[in-house]
Amino acid sequence: MKLVRYGAVGTEKPGLIDSAGALRDLSSVIHDIDAKALGHEGLARLANVDPRQLPQVEGQPRYGTPVAHVGKMICVGMNYAEHAAETNAPVPQMPVIFMKATSAIVGPNDDVIIPQGSTKTDWEVELGVVIGETARSVSEEEALSYVAGYLVVNDLSERDFQFEHGGQWVKGKSCDTFGPLGPWLVTADDVPDPQNLGLWLEVNGHRYQNGHTRTMIFSVAKLVSHISRYMTLQPGDVISTGTPAGVGLGQKPPIYLRDGDVIELGIEGLGQQRQQVHTHASSGNVTA
């Protein structure tokens, strides 16, 4: 299934994309795509719904983040060896984990705002993993059974804030609009192997990133297992699994986002995002 949330900021409704690509309204079935809906029971209930019996949504409404009320967003650094090399970082022996504030989360096509004082706002296409069941110290072998589904993430980063402003990376990762998610959540039953997905990103039509999840240093199963050792993973939590080579920081010389730029990115089978970059906030930009 492809689950979505659509509508104006703060009033998004649950929906799904049917086999013909049409948007169907799920409001008569569930209140929202949230922790309750993402568990095994909730997804089984949705799987039994006949999309043809749901109202079709006309027009082209805005898509919000496909998961409501994300509890925490956990990110993985340096999970592709070529990306570590382009940023002059060693290949990690264990997963590098940091947090992105949930206030950074926006819809897949909402504007990206360059924060005040920024000179090094950067892009990162990543595979996002959405947790469906509470996970504590789970084994690698059983880890994927705790996953509700997958989505596209743009893990935007301000490199000066990240590396030069002291403390942890969270400062450079958590600016408003730095976490576009979606356009939809593809449930795990429709993603047979999360390590077999191509991912890409372009800025102004130039392709900078063209990677594949098979080259991850730590697999999705390894990451879910590893992170669950240190914190309880709860339904609706999102893990962003790292980016392949091709970020702005890695260009020679480095290239960073500027007002008016257009970012387009996608992952095989998981859809595409498109964001316009601005240096000042626009109305209707931040999603619930």
Residue 150 has pLDDT above 50, yes or no: yes
pLDDT of residue 281: 55
Residue 52 has pLDDT above 60, yes or no: yes
Q: Report the CATH fold assignment for 65-278.
A: Fumarylacetoacetate hydrolase; domain 2 (3.90.850)
Instruction: Give, as one character, the DSSP assignment of residue 58.
Output: P
Would you say 194 and 212 are in contact if contact means Cβ atoms under 8 Å apart?
Answer: no
DSSP class per residue in 82-148 = HHHHHTT-PPPSS-EEEEE-GGGEE-TTSPEEPPTT-S-EE--EEEEEEE-S-BSS--TTTGGGGEE
Average pLDDT, stretch 210-233? 97
pLDDT of residue 164: 80
Residues 85-138 have pLDDT tens digits of 888 888 899 999 999 999 999 999 999 999 999 999 999 999 999 999 999 999
- The overall average pLDDT reported for the chain is 94
Q: Closest by alpha carbon to 115, among 152, 161, 74, 65?
A: 161
Residues 223-267 have pLDDT tens digits of 999 999 999 999 999 999 999 999 999 999 999 999 999 999 999
d(CA 146, CA 286): 29
pLDDT of residue 85: 84
User: Amino acid identity of 211?
Assistant: G
Which residues, listed in sequence order, are joined to residue 24 by a DSSP beta bridge? 16, 56
d(CA 154, CA 171): 16
Would you say 176 and 105 are in contact if contact means Cβ atoms under 8 Å apart?
Answer: no
Would you say 182 and 64 are in contact if contact means Cβ atoms under 8 Å apart?
Answer: yes
Helix, strand and coil content of the chain, in percent to the nearest 5, comes to 20, 30, 50
The residues spanned by each domain of the chain are 65-278
Residue 167 has pLDDT above 90, yes or no: no
Q: Closest by alpha carbon to 111, among 267, 272, 259?
A: 259
Per the model's pLDDT, the better-predicted residue between 112 and 285 turns out to be 112
Q: Closest by alpha carbon to 239, among 263, 210, 211, 218?
A: 218
d(CA 85, CA 63): 35
How far CA 277 is from CA of 112, 256, 273, in Å, comes to 5, 11, 13
Residue 197 has pLDDT above 70, yes or no: yes
Q: Global pTM?
A: 0.95
Average pLDDT, stretch 45-62? 96
How far CA 172 is from CA of 76, 115, 119, 164, 252, in Å, comes to 14, 10, 12, 9, 21
